[in-house]
Amino acid sequence: MKSTLTGIIVAMQEELEIILQQLEQPQTVERAGMHFHVGLFAGKPVVAVICGVGKVNAAACTQLLISDFRVTQIINIGIAGGLGPGILPGDIVIGDSLVQHDMDVTALGLAPGQIFRLNTFDFKSDPLLLGLAQAASAHITAHNSYTGRIVSGDQFIACPEKSQWLQKEFSALACEMESASIAHVCYLNQLPFVCIRSISDNANNGAHMDFEQFMPIAVENSSILLRHMIPSC
């Protein structure tokens, strides 16, 4: 069986801490202002890192994981805004399809989100990692889990009209600022990936959660997902 080295990209220091607390044989390497933590998690080799906010940070981080650390797959965990009317704070969205919603070359006759001269519209998660994420999410019993499209852009979406447009235009369940660029780099490198998001708010139905109230939920969700996914990776 081919050995695996999993890159874990997280959104928050608190999510990284749950990995560092259990990381064996830890080493930290700095690249491009980011700290990559190498070691064994649940008995499996991993490289864990906070990528920073936005698509450029996420893309640079992903390529470093691939080029410098030679990871063989990537799991991305973070927070997002919910777009579906039934998706509530604390719920999980597992991205089976990722799109950059702020890519706009409609003046050239292409659909919103389509990247010029790229032979795909969306970036699809690896079926094996997707299945592991879905199985792990079954252990999160206090909230619902969904599988569907996540859209990313260099915009903080706080407008109900924009949220509704993203849902209608892309059939998206969640929006944030990094996942699709991580997926794009993995696609270019032909590397398996999956992106998973804990929902922090939903502009469509007016449900909002204070960040300090939400953060422990997101961290707990991340802990459960990683604890159940990594041993099978």
- Residue-wise pLDDT for 146-156, tens only, equals 999 999 999 98
Distance CA 164, CA 100 (A): 16
Quick one: pLDDT at residue 207? 56
Q: Which residue ranges of the chain lie beneath pLDDT 50?
A: 1
Q: Would residue 219 count as lying in a domain? A: yes
Can you give the CATH number for the domain in which 216 is found? 3.40.50.1580
Quick one: pLDDT at residue 203? 57
Token pair for 8: 């874990």
Q: Would residue 155 count as lying in a domain? A: yes
Distance CA 169, CA 146 (A): 19
Distance CA 219, CA 13 (A): 10
Quick one: pLDDT at residue 219? 86
Q: Is 154 a catalytic residue?
A: no
Quick one: pLDDT at residue 89? 87
The residue count for the chain? 233
Quick one: pLDDT at residue 183? 98
Q: Would residue 143 count as lying in a domain? A: yes
Token pair for 45: 């080799």
Distance CA 142, CA 196 (A): 17
Q: Is 104 a catalytic residue?
A: no
Residue 24 is part of which domain span? 6-232
Token pair for 231: 């041993």
Give the position of tokens 């960040």.
Answer: 211
Q: Would residue 1 count as lying in a domain? A: no
Q: Would residue 209 count as lying in a domain? A: yes
Distance CA 134, CA 174 (A): 16
Name the catalytic one among 96, 122, 126, 201: 201
Cα dihedral sign, 78-79-83-84: positive
Q: Is 206 in a helix, a strand, or coil?
A: coil
Quick one: pLDDT at residue 2? 64
Distance CA 84, CA 73 (A): 29
Name the catalytic one among 15, 91, 122, 178: 15
What's the burial of 212, exposed, middle or buried (CB within 10 Å: 0-12/13-18/19+)?
exposed
Determine how many CB atoms are found less than 10 A away from the CB of residue 156.
Answer: 11
Q: Would residue 181 count as lying in a domain? A: yes
Quick one: pLDDT at residue 114? 97
Domain count, the chain: 1
